[in-house]
Chains A and B, each alone.
Chain A
Amino acid sequence: MDEMYISFNRARYCVRRVNATHEIGCQSSSRGNSGRMYMIDDENEFRSFLTNKKTLDSIGRFIITLNIDLFDSEHMDELMTRLDTKLNGLLVYLKSNLTRPKHFSPDDQCPNHRHSYYLNQTQAVNWNPKGNGLFFRSFPFPIMLIDEEDDYKLLLSYYQRFNSSQSTSSCGLELKTFQNAAHTSKTCMRRGEISHSLIDEAETLCDPVGGLNIYSKLSEPLTITPKQRSPKSVILILATTDSFQMFLKANGATGGVQQPATSLIAFLSLAHLIGQAQEDLNKIEKEIIFVTLDGDALDYSGSFRFMYDMENNYFPTDSKDEERIRKEHIHSVIEFQALSFTGQLSESNLYAHPSNLTNETFINSLTNRTSTIVPMPRDAPLPPASSQIFLRQTSSLFFPVYILTSTNQSQLSNHYYHSFFDDPSTLSINISSLEYNTTTDFSQWIKSLVEPLAQTLIETITGLNKNITIEQEIINNLVYCVLKNINCPLIHNVSNETSGNSFDAFDQTSLPFSVNTYPTATTPTFTFVRNTLSYFLRDRTYDGLNLTETACKEQSKNDSFRLYRFVGGYPPSISTEEKFLGYCVRSYYRSAYSSSPAFAIDKYDLADTTYPAWSESRWSTISLRLFIIPTQSHEIITLVIGILLLSISFIAFFFLRYFTKLSLLQPSSS
């Protein structure tokens, strides 16, 4: 081996996160955790390793290299109790993408059970039965994962070459994933603010979890006069924009396809359908507001913030001309959550709660329109969904919630819930051959899902039976943009120039679904949602007006309620005959911070568990390196030779000084 270290740059790593009471995740020492590598490939090797007293006693520190099939709580517990402090790190490997485990979810068996609608119920429904819960445990050593096939092959080749017998040299691994956060959110945030003024600056150790809650609706063409909002006049459509994984990778696939990408695509398609029907909808006093929530994967932080904003008259934000929306004004909530596509005939389930408020007509007409939506029995327990918090904070007295999700007998259909394996292959999509306008089974299924829903919604609100349809091309484009390449023609067509240019940095990457923190890292998610959603709900009368960019800017001077931007125009959405070079888009959208109320309330004690208080640690370098540990005899020989050389050099110099009469330090005189 020519080099001293072999680096694995594409490894995934586990980070520290803290909440009000605990810390979760993994931690290494600041110089990295190193130890002798020991590979465990299957159950037999695992058993023999744990009983092999000779190996366990002879080696001081281990880095166990574990097959991902063995990465669950039973094996981890056994390994940790048997090895105790000798376990200095864990490297999990995936042999190849074709051999990925059938189920892999580091989330709990009952996700988000800490803050749910069913707080005091004894019998929890295990929606995620194969969840191993390892994400929410705290490990004192680093855990990393290699998922690239050639990384695994390289690792295996070195292991086999050097670990053949006890006496020869062996492989060692060094894992460095030092995290700054410690203890709880309260401690971490407090320490991040300590500075000794002249001597040093405060160094932030962790960031609160949260991004943006974005909402948009049809921008009515009627002039805005402060009018009284009638009760039960607002319908909220919900989707989330975040997920989490136990193993992160910078610039890598984040997962999150079945939740929330599928729901987000359905959400945006529904928005387009509602936008298409705006003429009829604008005549009615009811409003349909589309809301995306961020931070719900970790204890529903975004939903708590949304409800808190609503209670405190902050919803909608920055609206001088609008009466604030409160819980009395909400007619119902419809949510897209954890939708999975398992085949052409896959169904999605409609949960409705509470049964005394739900509209049976709505449910019946929706389920009669299509066979892909199946109603759940009355008062069926709700799956993990943001709507649970909407019900909880209003004691389920004000409005019903309808959740469209994919479950199978009280189990989520998603086998990779909240893990990085949740990628487009789970939707039977061949992502490498996917083009901008490819019609896949998946996109056809989305169309069959949202069209009946839009038709039923419009019928419920206006009483009209419109056979409204969405162009398949729009859904195909959305699928391409969200799942393959966010830098797609769609987003450039619906954004103005500066906004569109910000996507060039994310060329050939899919929309990332990860834990967002505030201050927000550069993520294209919010810009994408904002631009697409507001464009789909735009005032379509402006499509026919051939306005210039300056004329568009002029419009915004007179109107503080709506936003105007000049875009290239998205052809599948434009129904007018004439095509112009650019279009002025009149739209309505607002965004609000979605971090938990714990971080928004003044003087809130972060140790209080009323609201979730998740923060993510900051870190600097992450590295995974392999090196060779020489044998004992090799090390001793090296040491002895070194000491010998040292003494020889001392002796040689001694002789040179006293027996050659050469004074090396003074100039010779006379």
Chain B
Amino acid sequence: MSIPETRWRCEQFHQSRTNANNGCQIINAQIHSDYEESTVESNKGNMVSLEKKSPEERLNICRKYYFGGFAFLPLLWLINAIWFYKQAFKVEPYPQQAQIRTYVIRSAIGTLAWLLIIIIWNVLFQVFRTKMGPAGDYLTFVVPRGYY
């Protein structure tokens, strides 16, 4: 049954009985646990919850993202830094945390470096595209029509 309908039924129940709160709460609790179960059931395999993984598995994931980012994939580094930030600095220490911490820091540095490179290149291209002569045109993906 869907949630709006059950809420309405709850209210009806509440109006007709004096100590109907209990009944409603029970129904509400039932609904919420049903919902959580169903979501966990259906999302199994999509969303990785780090709390459920063992520390070795966490280190493994972090390492994979760290090395993957070297293949000119700065977004992997960005995600690595953000996702493992809590694990590296906020959670209670555990043996693998030191290594995870170095990976997170280096990923953050790498992201910043890439950001800088991309911004600088973008600005340079926009300013010097026409002054570069043929090189500017060959680098342009969609050649502008009608203006220089």
Select B148's contact among A30, A187, A190, A666, beta carbons within 8 Å.
A187
Is the C-beta of A182 less than 8 angstroms from some C-beta in chain B?
yes
Q: How far is the CA of A203 from the CA of B146 in the complex (A)?
A: 13
Q: Is A625 an interface residue (CB 8 A)?
A: no
Chain B residues whose CB sits within 8 angstroms of the CB of A27 once the complex forms:
146-147
Kindly state the separation between the CA atoms of A359 and B93 in the bound complex, as whole angstroms.
109
B residues contacting the other copy or chain, number (CB 8 A): 14
Q: Is B143 an interface residue when CB atoms closer than 8 A count as contact?
A: yes
Does chain A have a CB within 8 A of B42?
no
- What CA separation (Å) do A669 and B4 show in the bound complex? 13
Nearest Cβ distance between residue B71 and chain A, in whole angstroms?
A: 23
A182 touching B144, Cβ below 8 Å: yes
* B contact patch SS: loop
Which residues of the other chain, B, contact A180 by a CB distance below 8 angstroms? 145-146
Which stretch from B45-53, B96-104, B110-118, B133-141 is at the chain A interface?
B133-141
> In the complex, what distance in Å separates the CA atom of A593 from the CA atom of B34?
82
Inside 8 A of A179's CB, which chain B residues have their CB? 146
| B2 contacts A by Cβ under 8 Å | yes
Contacts of B4 in A (CB 8 A): 663
Give the distance in Å from the alpha carbon of A194 to the alpha carbon of B134 in the complex.
11
CB distance from A129 to the nearest CB of B (A): 34
CA distance A669 to B147 in the complex (A): 64
The reply on A181 being an interface residue by CB < 8 A is yes
Given the complex of chains A and B, what is the CA–CA distance between A228 and B23 in angstroms? 121
* CA distance in complex: A27, B2 (Å): 61
What is the 8 Å Cβ interface bit string for chain A, positions 151-189, against chain B (1 contact, 0 not)? 000000000000000000000000000111111000100
Given contacts A190-B134, A191-B137, A196-B141, contact A182 B146 (CB under 8 A): yes
Across-interface contacts of B2 in A (CB, < 8 A)? 666
Interface string of B20-57 (1 = CB under 8 A from A): 00000000000000000000000000000000000000
CB distance from B73 to the nearest CB of A (A): 22
Q: Which of B138, B141, B147 is A182 in contact with, Cβ under 8 Å?
A: B147
Q: Does A205 contact B (CB under 8 A)?
A: yes
Cβ distance B140 to chain A, nearest Cβ, rounded Å: 8
Q: Mark A649-670, 1 if CB is under 8 A from B, else 0.
A: 0000000000000010010010
Cβ of B130 to closest chain A Cβ, rounded Å: 8
Q: Considering only CB atoms, which chain B residue lies closest to A16 in the complex?
A: B146
Within 8 A of B (CB), among A432-474: none
Find chain A residues with CB under 8 A from B148 CB: 182-183, 187
Write 29 A-B pairs (CB below 8 A) sorted by A numbering: A27-B146, A27-B147, A30-B145, A30-B146, A178-B145, A178-B146, A179-B146, A180-B145, A180-B146, A182-B144, A182-B145, A182-B146, A182-B147, A182-B148, A183-B148, A187-B137, A187-B148, A190-B137, A191-B143, A194-B137, A194-B138, A194-B140, A194-B143, A196-B141, A203-B143, A205-B145, A663-B4, A666-B5, A669-B5
Closest CB pairs A-B (n = 3): A183-B148, A180-B145, A182-B148
